Structure 1
Amino acid sequence: MIRSIHWLHCLLLIALGSLALGQRIDPQRIIVNPVPTDLQVRVWVDKDPSKSGAPVYQVGENIRVSVQTNQDAYVYLFGVLPSGDIDLILPNPYDQDNFIRANEVATFPPVGARYTFDVTPPFGESVVLAVASRTPLDLSRVYDIANNRALVNGRQELGQAMAIVVEPLPDQDWVSDVAFYYVGQYTPPPPPTGTLVIDSNPAGATVYINGQRAGTTPATLTLDSGQYSVQLTYPGYEPYRTTLSVEGGTSTRISANLRRINLSGTLAVTSNPPGAQVFVNGQLVGNTPVNLSLNPGSYTLELRRQGYQTYRTTVAIAPGANSRVNVNLSPAVSQGVLTVTSNPSNADVYVNGRLVGRTPYSARLNSGTYTVEVRRAGYQDYRTTVTVQAGRTTTVNATLALPAPPTGSTGVLSVVTDVPGADVYIDGRLAGRTPINLQLRPGRYTLEVRSGGRVVYRQAVQVRPNRTTTVRIETR
């Protein structure tokens, strides 16, 4: 069993070159490679493999140290004692092979070893230093391995000596890491505090730290290190908000110029007729006429009154300005149903001269009076006037009559299209759909054929008595 390791009670770690340059001491290293390197080493103790806390070992417990590199490397492990004495953990008289394969986890003492590491007083913080190198290091200035005796004492001398050892190596060929643990009961030190000084214009603003009231300005607060949200409030002024970090041993200052809240504006709303409900951004605020006091900004204004159409608009309120909206409400448009049937069916339905469909036909129309025509080729047109009332159904039943036979001699006009179903108009009046034979009095007529909503043929034709005049039309 090698002698028990007495670890350092309170270690401040020294970065490479920090003594000569007067740099701030890095509390995580004894010696640090200042150049980033792809060679990495990681060291830990068995009670804290994730290195996330401060493991505590009681006197008499065994401790094991593990190390891992991401590349093949020679690894050297040191322990620094509270007295300043230094132990070489690896290599040691029982484990002299310190070559570690890439990604291999090496633990000391290994399972089945002839020695142990025993935890002994004094109490306090302890540290393990790992140095990994692509080539073996000459430790003759640091440690007499043959006699198991350190040639330097304390963290400062160890840092200086190791700096000399690695100085001949290329920057990319070495790297270091440390692990901490405590002997006995560990009481973490209180977090360092800093000072936050807060002023405001005007003074007397209420101070809130992380949502908790902390006084009024001017204020000087002592806070633990960390990040804080700060809010200042003062009547008639906009809240001031910010987020900042407080560092131990430092003073941070906030000087806030508070901004006055913008003056409200007025909005006068009237309507004809009056008594309409007024909604601002969806909220009922009264009936017309009404005067409103609103903060500057844009608002959605809505007026509602039974029997009238809802009125909507957007208004902009300027600071201290008077705005006015006067609305003439439009009566609500009510609807009824118009139903048109015919005998025979499949007749064209015209409402106020516009073709709207074929029988049987049904549609919702606004209340009012309409002219309804029903037309079918080979039958006399049907025409009537109806009144559509709100909430009611108005029905037109059209019985189409055959046309009276013409008197005297007649002729026949036969109209044929390559695509059946084209509308045929004689002197501007719908006569039917192709193919169609029309019995007409002799004379000259204007023939118009429409297909797919467009005029495909328009010519004057002559109908002769007791003869058939045939017109063939290509619609495509």
Structure 2
Amino acid sequence: MKRNLRSMFLILLSLLCIGGVFAQATALLTIEASEGPAQVILNGKLLGIANPKFAARVAPGTYDLLVRKTGLPEFRQRITIPASGLTVKAQLGAAQVVPAPQPVKQLFTLSITANAPNAQVSVNGASMGNAPVNVSVEAGTYRVQISAPGYEPYDANVSVTNNTSLAATLKQQSGKITISANVIGAEVYLNNVKAGNTPFTTDLPFGSYNLKITAPGYQDYAAGIVVSGPQNIVANLVPLMATVRLNISDKFFGKQHKNPLGLIEFYVDNIKQKDLTVSVAPGTHNFRLEFGVIALETALVVEAGKTYTLEPNFVLTVK
């Protein structure tokens, strides 16, 4: 009997010692929920209800903590509980960080026109089509480039702080034209407008022109020219001629000659002529008529564009 009581005493003592060891192997976990009641779940198992506070003793270690309340975002956190215990403040339905609203950037209209037809417009390297164009832009500086056939490229930086208009003036491409002639001081006309006198130099926009050069005593020089670069034009003006006509009446020959004109020899500057009407350059010339043993001769100063008539009457007379 005494032996049995002694055995039971030893068993109870052992249980008390073991219980003390287990009691020392736990730590206090305290959960403070922002709103209750909320479930406290540790490693997937319901530990209790925080309303709004909950405390329980658990073995020290690392756990996955979940605190949740219907209708609110859950609180999740991986926690490590030391032997000294741990308090966790679980914020349920915490306000999410909302980015500050960005101010709406104001847009302005950049209106671009050009004086050249078929002018291609680009803004900051992006093609905008043919002028005129309207472009919506923010405030800032923009590079505007414009190109058109026959015109120099246009390139400018435009500052935009409000609705802005740009009227681009493109310069026509031009070529240097030099015009000379065999007559100094001859008048030069371009498209029927007097441009100067030879020798003449100017820059002309690319394109087609009607060129005319005039000088007293010379035939007009006329030509169409196309300017696509530098050109050197040399015009040769042809002198205007004077007309001299030999007029012989029937009285000069007499009735005995059936074909008197066939007996006439007409010389100009000692050169025999085939016809009795000749064209000669302005200046002094010698005219001689031979008819059988008769020779009549005279010198005459003629002017360009005029007509002279020579009539023999035993001497040559001029009319």
TM-score range normalised by the length of the shorter chain: 0.3 to 0.5
Q: In proportion to residue count, which structure has more helix?
A: 2
Q: TM-score, normalised on structure 1?
A: 0.26
Give the number of the structure whose alpha-carbon radius of gyration is greater. Answer: 2
Higher strand fraction: Structure 1 or Structure 2? 2
